[in-house]
Amino acid sequence: MSSEQDLGITESKQHNTGEWYAEVVKKAGLANYGPDGMSGFIVTRPRGYALWEAIQQELDSKFKATGVQNAYFPMFIPESYLEREKDIVEGFDPEVAWVTHGGHDELEERLAVRPTSESIIAPYMAQWVRSHRDLPLRVNQWCSVVRWEATETKPFFRTKEFLWQEGHTAHETHDEAWDETMTRLDQYAELYEDLLAIPVLKGQKPGHDKFPGAHKTTTVEALMPDGKSVQAGTSHHLGTSFAEAFDITFSDEDEETQPAHTTSWGLSWRALGALIMTHSDDQGLVLPPTIAPEQVVVVPIWQEDTKDDVLDYADGVADDLADSGVRVELDDRDERNPGFKFNEWELKGVPVRIEIGPHEVEDDEVTIIHRPDGESITADRDDIGETIQEQFDEVYAKLYAAAEENLDDSVRDADSREEILGTLGQHGGYVKAPWCGDEECEDPIKEPLAAEIVMCPFDDEETVGDDETCAICGDDATQTAYFAKNY
């Protein structure tokens, strides 16, 4: 049994996307499935968790630079708290896991394992806010939440427990809460575009698909190579519904008591799912240099008579890279040949490989290979730190361009039910159609195709003409709906 066979990816991304994805996650060492009897749970391995940490660091610094502080609230929510905002109860009730016993004793009141934390954070915000001088109030927590969905496990995309951040803010006015909602949405879009090399569409969820109790839910959507959309992060303007349910009030400058306007916003490890799905290939994981745990692997290639010189030189290159702040690994294992090493590091998603053999030593050069497309470049040994940064930019640009091309080619227009169904069935991607705003006009698409309205653009007033009619029912159109299959 060849170990190369065990190591490599056997499924095809194009033909068997689901199995291929599961294989990449497992063989690149990102996650394992949870124990038997706990379907829907995964174990995140150090390599997977390192990617999550990189996302955390990026977002956390953005949040802190814009007035957010971290806090932590209990993972349990008393049932009576959850019931105070009726939309939350209705929205999450089928997915809530309950704690009924503490040790051997039955609890007087059941405790929900948080499916989201508005219901336990809002009552404390109510205590902390007294006057307009206490506003805006912005807290964020990094935690996990549990939603007991009975669906097939897909690591990072669909799990019962998932890691995320949830931000919660309170403001004096409706407009300030809207600015906050959009600030966070923009930060999510930047995370995707600047760290994960994934372009996103920004918009709002249709009214019937808002967060329970929200005035408006905004979303960033990312298109996967299989033509399905991922809801990649959401930011909610909650209006005053939570403030009214939980008494978050403040006295304004005239000493009048007013309800606060609140927001909440969350981004989960689904971002990792999108990252893996977007860039990886039939050789394994592909990561942008911005997030890769090892940005460069240096592989020395030697014969017995050249070994000392090659290893010496490779060691120096790796040291120089490390000194210039590059995350670099020198693979000088004796027991593996270069071909095996190439395959292994490709599987693990290291974006740039440097090969060093006797020729490179002799010519004072290095050979640089880009993981995404195998492009090979010969560069001078001197200024390797600077050279490698340019190569990182090129690799990033290649990954972004490929994802952008997929997105640009996958937004199509339709103006009848048949055309929406036909286009989605044939191509996937997004199908734009004028829409009246009524949920009933989503059903004729949802039932046969399991596609739904994933978002409507913000600039609807400008894009929907006066004479346009709903593609489904023929009434006046008020919005442009983006239909898509989704994760």
- The count of residues interacting with Zn ion (CB under 5 A) is 6
Least Å from the CB of residue 479 to Zn ion: 10
Binding mask 382-421 for Zn ion (x = CB under 5 A): ----------------------------------------
- Using the minimum distance from each CB to Zn ion, give the nearer residue, 135 or 470: 470
SS3 string, 335-388, reads CCCHHHHHHHHHHHCCCEEEEECHHHHHHCEEEEEECCCCCEEEEECCCHHHHH
Q: How many CB atoms lie within 10 A of CB 228?
A: 19
- Using the minimum distance from each CB to Zn ion, give the nearer residue, 286 or 441: 441
Least Å from the CB of residue 458 to Zn ion: 20
Q: What is d(CA 171, CA 175) in angstroms, rounded to the nearest whole number?
A: 9
Is 472 a binder of Zn ion (CB under 5 A)? yes
Helix/strand number for the chain, H first, E second: 16, 23
Q: What is the side-by-side order of every strand in the sheet holding 479-485?
A: 411-413, 430-435, 479-485, 451-455
Q: What is d(CA 385, CA 328) in angstroms, rounded to the nearest whole number?
A: 11
Least Å from the CB of residue 436 to Zn ion: 3
- Using the minimum distance from each CB to Zn ion, give the nearer residue, 95 or 438: 438
Least Å from the CB of residue 240 to Zn ion: 30
Least Å from the CB of residue 290 to Zn ion: 43
Least Å from the CB of residue 474 to Zn ion: 7
Q: How many CB atoms lie within 10 A of CB 226?
A: 17
Least Å from the CB of residue 443 to Zn ion: 10
- Using the minimum distance from each CB to Zn ion, give the nearer residue, 424 or 471: 471
Q: What is d(CA 483, CA 21) in angstroms, rounded to the nearest whole number?
A: 24
Element (H, E) at 46: helix 46-65
- Using the minimum distance from each CB to Zn ion, give the nearer residue, 22 or 473: 473
- Using the minimum distance from each CB to Zn ion, give the nearer residue, 129 or 471: 471
Element (H, E) at 396: helix 384-408
Binding mask 429-468 for Zn ion (x = CB under 5 A): -------x-x--x---------------------------
First to last CA, the chain: 36
Strand partners, 234: 219, 266
- Using the minimum distance from each CB to Zn ion, give the nearer residue, 185 or 441: 441
What lies within 8 Å, CB to CB, of 192 at 6+ separation is 198, 199, 200, 220, 222, 232, 233, 271, 274
- Using the minimum distance from each CB to Zn ion, give the nearer residue, 292 or 472: 472
Least Å from the CB of residue 204 to Zn ion: 18
- Using the minimum distance from each CB to Zn ion, give the nearer residue, 130 or 208: 208
- Using the minimum distance from each CB to Zn ion, give the nearer residue, 414 or 441: 441
Structure tokens at 340: 């095996």
Whether the Cβ atoms of residue 361 and residue 309 lie closer than 8 Å to each other: yes
- Using the minimum distance from each CB to Zn ion, give the nearer residue, 36 or 467: 467
The label of the residue with tokens 């040790």 reads 103
Whether the Cβ atoms of residue 365 and residue 381 lie closer than 8 Å to each other: yes
Of positions 473, 476, 478, 486, contacts Zn ion by CB under 5 A = 473
- Using the minimum distance from each CB to Zn ion, give the nearer residue, 191 or 441: 441
Q: How far is CA 327 from the centre of its chain?
A: 23
Q: What is d(CA 259, CA 246) in angstroms, rounded to the nearest whole number?
A: 10
Least Å from the CB of residue 222 to Zn ion: 27
Whether the Cβ atoms of residue 203 and residue 458 lie closer than 8 Å to each other: yes
Whether the Cβ atoms of residue 150 and residue 119 lie closer than 8 Å to each other: no
Least Å from the CB of residue 223 to Zn ion: 25
Least Å from the CB of residue 448 to Zn ion: 17
* HSE of 206, CA atoms in CB hemisphere, 13 A: 20
Of positions 170, 200, 326, 470, contacts Zn ion by CB under 5 A = 470
Residue 200's φ and ψ, nearest 5 degrees, are -130, 160
Least Å from the CB of residue 439 to Zn ion: 9
Task: List residues binding Zn ion (CB under 5 A).
Answer: 436, 438, 441, 470, 472-473
